[in-house]
Amino acid sequence: MSRKYFGTDGIRGRVGVSPITADFILRLGRAVGVVLAGNDKRAVVIGKDTRISGYMFESALESGLAAAGADVLLLGPMPTPAIAYLTRTLYACAGIVISASHNPFEDNGFKFFSAEGEKLPDDVETAIEAELDKPFVTVEPADMGKAARVEDAAGRYIEFCKGTVPFGTLLSGMRVVLDCANGSTYRVAPAVLRELGAKAHVIGNEPNGLNINDRCGSTFPEAMQAEVVSRGADAGIALDGDGDRLVMADHTGALVDGDDLLYIIASARQAEGRLQGGVVGTVMSNFGLELALQELGIPFVRTAVGDRHIHRELVNKGWTLGGETSGHLLALDRTSTGDGIISALQILEVMVSSGKSLHDLRQGMQKFPQTMINVPVSDGAQQRLADSARISAAVRRVEGELDGRGRVILRPSGTEPLIRVTLEGADSTQVEELARELADTVRDELGA
């Protein structure tokens, strides 16, 4: 069924604009308390990133949960994957993250984890929405929930991150530039790297409530890339505001995205006999990744965009490794959700064990040029995309032109009235021309 509030990863929007308002979040807290806590006496964990609006929403959630009779454990500013981990290890019944990930500070959002530290299934999100439509009822005063702050949350998570690399793996002598995006990793990420022996130069670690993701972090890696070159570092790491994804740079300053990182981890694991099954990507994963894994004999499947879809496919297949081009990587043998710090540690681990630079490790995969054109469409036109015989014929013609050395992706936007026309192929000029032609066909058929 269609949902009013939940998107691909929780609830997100501009602060002060429905539904990201204090009164709605109060009701959301109560609904979550009823659905996820119920008669379960275990607490609900709440963490947040560094946005100024987090203070307001933390209080609203806490109040709503207490009204439902749920106890609360407050973690303060912590990465999203830390909330997933601490939800499990504190034996909480659920975890809530107050964050809009890589969005600017004017936005905020809410992500949810089950008691196992995994994203909620669709039916649970639907149940929360149904509860939101009911009257706000407070439990009896004697049954109200209480709140407590977890003082050692950061230390617990730092030790967990360090424990995900093999014992004895030290980063001694490795020079790293780390960009924390003025977000939730600003304390824990530098500590993890330095305690493992790396010489970390840290930027984007002075949050003021307004500067999260502001010309820094994984959505603006240029600052990190420039620092790598100027300091002669071995690698650069740029995390996003809530710490669940990353991009990197090699010693030349060249960007290393999620597809590159996934290839490096998968190929290293296969060489060591540690790869369980294959790799899961998305419809947007570069065709070069698929071919490179194919050459290594590693199975590769695609899902819809979103880490929850990747997670579901990994669990269904009994595999452990997957990710998105954006740098949202999952290694289910290390942790239960995407984690930028742990993903970066896996890459540094490969560099140490192989003795190779990040530049050399990525050479086994050659990316295909990609062009994406956003086509504005009229209301309801996204639903007619699959039924258009003219568009289907145009796609078949373009695929014939690519002759098996490229891909066509037509994907409705989940947040705007757009059709995203994406093409990949070996010849960048051909890809651009075919993308324009296909976009024109989509525009003629469905355009606003």
Q: Same structural domain for residues 393 and 345?
A: no
Which one of 101, 114, 218, 326 is the catalytic residue? 101
Q: Same structural domain for residues 140 and 177?
A: no
pLDDT score, position 2: 58
Return the CATH number at 408: 3.30.310.50
Q: Which residues, other chains included, contact 416 with Cβ-Cβ below 8 Å and sequence gap of 6+? A: none
Strands (E), 336-403: 370-376
Per the listing, tokens 């691909």 go with 8
Structure tokens at 255: 């960007």
Q: What b/e sequence results for 8-33 when a residue is b if at least 16 CB atoms lie within 10 Å of its CB, and e otherwise?
A: ebbbbbebeeebbbeebbbbbbbbbb
Q: Which residues pair with 300 in a beta bridge?
A: 279
Q: Same structural domain for residues 302 and 356?
A: yes
Q: What b/e sequence results for 392-401 when a residue is b if at least 16 CB atoms lie within 10 Å of its CB, and e otherwise?
A: eebbeebeeb
Task: Among 104, 135, 151, give the residue marking a domain's end.
Answer: 151
pLDDT score, position 8: 74
- The number of beta carbons lying within 10 Å of the beta carbon of residue 418 is 18
Q: Same structural domain for residues 380 and 253?
A: no
Segment 329-346, tens digit of pLDDT: 999 999 999 999 999 999
Q: Tell whether 192 is covered by a domain.
A: yes
Q: Same structural domain for residues 126 and 205?
A: no
Q: Tell whether 328 is covered by a domain.
A: yes
Segment 163-189, tens digit of pLDDT: 999 988 899 989 999 999 999 999 999
Q: Clarify whether 101 is annotated catalytic.
A: yes
Q: Same structural domain for residues 173 and 322?
A: yes
pLDDT score, position 189: 98
Q: Which residues, other chains included, contact 293 with Cβ-Cβ below 8 Å and sequence gap of 6+? A: 263, 266, 278, 279, 299, 300
pLDDT score, position 169: 86
Segment 215-257, tens digit of pLDDT: 999 999 999 999 999 999 999 999 999 999 999 999 999 999 9
Q: Tell whether 3 is covered by a domain.
A: no
CA distances for 292 relative to 103, 288, 330, angstroms: 32, 6, 19
Q: Tell whether 6 is covered by a domain.
A: no
Q: Same structural domain for residues 49 and 64?
A: yes
Q: Same structural domain for residues 127 and 19?
A: yes
Which of 134, 148, 126, 17 lies closest to 71 in space, CA to CA? 148
- Please tell me the total count of domains within the chain: 3
Q: Tell whether 5 is covered by a domain.
A: no
Rounded mean pLDDT of 27-51? 94
Q: Is the pLDDT of residue 104 over 80?
A: yes
- The number of beta carbons lying within 10 Å of the beta carbon of residue 123 is 8
Does this model's pTM top 0.95? My answer is no
102 three-state secondary structure: coil
Q: Tell whether 265 is covered by a domain.
A: yes
pLDDT score, position 317: 97
Task: Among 364, 397, 428, give the residue marking a domain's end.
Answer: 364
d(CA 204, CA 226) in angstroms, rounded, equals 14
272 three-state secondary structure: coil
Residue percentage of the chain with pLDDT more than 90: 86
Question: What is the span of the domain harbouring residue 37?
Answer: 11-151
Structure tokens at 279: 């790799």
pLDDT score, position 415: 62
User: How high does pLDDT run on average in the chain?
Assistant: 94
Q: Which residues, other chains included, contact 322 with Cβ-Cβ below 8 Å and sequence gap of 6+? A: 262, 279, 280, 281, 310, 311, 313, 314, 329, 330
Rounded mean pLDDT of 425-441? 94
Geometric angle at alpha carbon 86, from 240 and 239, rounded to 5°: 10
Q: Tell whether 177 is covered by a domain.
A: yes
Q: Is the pLDDT of residue 4 over 80?
A: yes
Task: Among 83, 117, 151, give the residue marking a domain's end.
Answer: 151
Q: Same structural domain for residues 303 and 404?
A: no
pLDDT score, position 1: 44
Segment 150-169, tens digit of pLDDT: 999 999 999 999 999 998 88
322 and 333 in contact (C-beta within 8 Å)?
A: no
Segment 395-432, tens digit of pLDDT: 999 999 998 888 999 988 766 788 999 999 989 999 99
Q: Same structural domain for residues 267 and 137?
A: no
pLDDT score, position 235: 98
Q: Same structural domain for residues 178 and 50?
A: no
Q: Same structural domain for residues 394 and 425?
A: yes
Return the CATH number at 54: 3.40.120.10
N-term to C-term CA, the chain: 26
d(CA 364, CA 366) in angstroms, rounded, equals 7
Q: Tell whether 162 is covered by a domain.
A: yes
Segment 117-144, tens digit of pLDDT: 998 988 999 999 999 999 999 999 999 9
Q: Is the pLDDT of residue 198 over 90?
A: yes
